[in-house]
Amino acid sequence: MSAEEERRPMERLKELVHYICDICKNESAFGATKLNKILWYLDTFAFLKFGKSLSGSTKYVKRQYGPVPQRILTVLEELEAEKAILIEEREYYKGIIRNYIVLKAPDEEVFTAEEKELINDMAQTVCRRTAKEISDLSHNAVWETAKNGEEIPLYAVLAVPDKITSKDEKRFDDFIMSRHS
């Protein structure tokens, strides 16, 4: 794989992160946990429905609060270096929350109308819940099986279909449908 081919998925992830930060900019409790949840749910939903991720990222890593894209820190550092976002840390309850302040508008033309609708719906759904509620939803069979720091390839959502297609699929469907309530 050439350096350019390797770079394309990361650029797509960067555009998506920038877009999500922009549409969630007025959410007071929008931080790293919710950003990573939006990405995970978008990618797993897109993978199950279309056979490919929305972000271009196919590798996630298990962390304490759920799966995160393998290259998320690099993407955030690049966005900050490009002065597209500013990352601020502040105290929030008993911990620290990272806020993403958008300094310039993202390129919305990167995404189709259907993709933008899905991104907006997922962002609204995630942002209506606390970080703990949203983290608990992502702690399914795939996440529980992995060790902390271990890679979770996106196709792992298909690895235990008897567990995922029954309880987890219903939870995911309920989660997606809750945006209409």
DSSP letters, 131-171, are: HHHHHHHH-SHHHHHSPTT-EEEGGGGGTSHHHIIIIIHHH
Domain count, the chain: 1
What local confidence, expressed as pLDDT, does residue 162 receive?
A: 46
Question: Does residue 46 contact residue 118 with C-beta atoms inside 8 Å?
Answer: yes
**pTM of the prediction?**
0.81
CA 3 – CA 140 distance, rounded (Å): 34
Domain span holding position 132: 3-180
| Token output for 145 | 């099986």
Q: What is the dihedral of CA 78, 126, 123, 94, to 10 degrees?
A: -40
The number of helices, as runs of H, and strands, as runs of E, in the chain is 8, 5
Q: Which residues contact 150 (CB under 8 A, 6 or more apart)?
A: 61, 62
The string of pLDDT tens digits covering residues 105-125 is: 999 999 999 999 999 999 999
What local confidence, expressed as pLDDT, does residue 131 receive?
A: 78
The residues of the chain scoring below 50 in pLDDT are 1-5, 161-165
For 15-165, list the strands marked E by DSSP: 59-63, 66-69, 85-92, 95-102, 151-153
